[in-house]
Amino acid sequence: MTTAAANRSPRIIIADDESLIRLDLREMLTQLGYEVIAEAGDGNTALELARKLQPDLLVMDIKMPGVDGIAAAEILTRERIAPVVLVTAYSDQSLVDRAKEAGVVGYVVKPFRETELMPVIELSLARFDEFRALEREVGDLKDALETRKLVERAKGVLMETHGLRESEAFHRIRKTSMDARKSMKEVAEAILLTHEMDFGNRENSRTGSSTS
């Protein structure tokens, strides 16, 4: 069960150095049914509040005084506290890549609407639950991050080839892992290898038929 599926509303901390943005975020999140339990104007305060209050999720700006949003997200992932949705005025690919390396799976670009926020939050909550499941299996944070990348790619293959929803794709990988007594990493690698081989065979067939 994901945090979002629990009986109570997910508890969220907002972190942004602009008070007006924090006000807008609080209003949006409250309207969407989430509980805003604290606000911070910088990364260090956000970390202190997260350690103390143990929220379900943080919504953080990337650019903040002191510890920025990505660095804070990396710490929160390492300490297994909560997932982070990053809010940014920049859609810079290098920032996105850095955020992924820090374990962030959700971000929204300013200005954004209420309707854009909820799917990102729900996805981040679900992915964090998946990550915890992977970490329990692997037992090591770095290996869990690497395994998650493989599982994300394998989920994409299953979603594309079998028309599954994301949660269904993850469930299938996890069930196969348990049934076959293989790690989720091994199952994900097998799915990706099979997909690559099928793709290669289709390409060879297409090339062969076009040259004949």
Domain range list for the chain: 3-130, 139-211
User: Which amino acid type is present at position 83?
Assistant: P
The CATH classification of domain 139-211, taken from the options 1.10.3720.10, 1.20.140.10, 1.10.8.60, 1.10.10.10: 1.10.10.10
Query: Are 92 and 3 spatial neighbours (Cβ–Cβ below 8 Å)?
Result: no
With 0-12 / 13-18 / 19 or more C-beta atoms within 10 angstroms meaning exposed / middle / buried, residue 199 is exposed
Structure tokens at 43: 């990364």
Predicted pLDDT at 168:
83
**Which spans in 104-183 are helix H?**
114-138, 141-162, 166-180
Q: Which of the listed ranges 17-31, 138-152, 190-204 does the model predict with the highest average pLDDT?
A: 17-31
- Distance separating alpha carbons of residues 69 and 82, to the nearest angstrom: 13
CATH number of this structure's domain 3-130: 3.40.50.2300
Cis peptide before 111 (omega within 30 of 0): yes
Query: Are 165 and 159 spatial neighbours (Cβ–Cβ below 8 Å)?
Result: yes
Nearest CA-CA partner of 154 in 118, 187, 131: 187
Query: Are 187 and 206 spatial neighbours (Cβ–Cβ below 8 Å)?
Result: no
- Distance separating alpha carbons of residues 175 and 145, to the nearest angstrom: 20
Alpha carbon distances (Å) from 26 to 12, 13, 15, 29, 112? 9, 9, 10, 5, 14
- Distance separating alpha carbons of residues 166 and 198, to the nearest angstrom: 22
Q: What is the pLDDT of residues 111-125, one digit of tens each?
A: 788 888 888 898 888
Residue 153 banded pLDDT, cuts 50, 70, 90: confident
Q: Give the least confident one: 21-30, 84-93, 97-106, 134-143.
A: 134-143
* Residue found under tokens 């196969």: 176
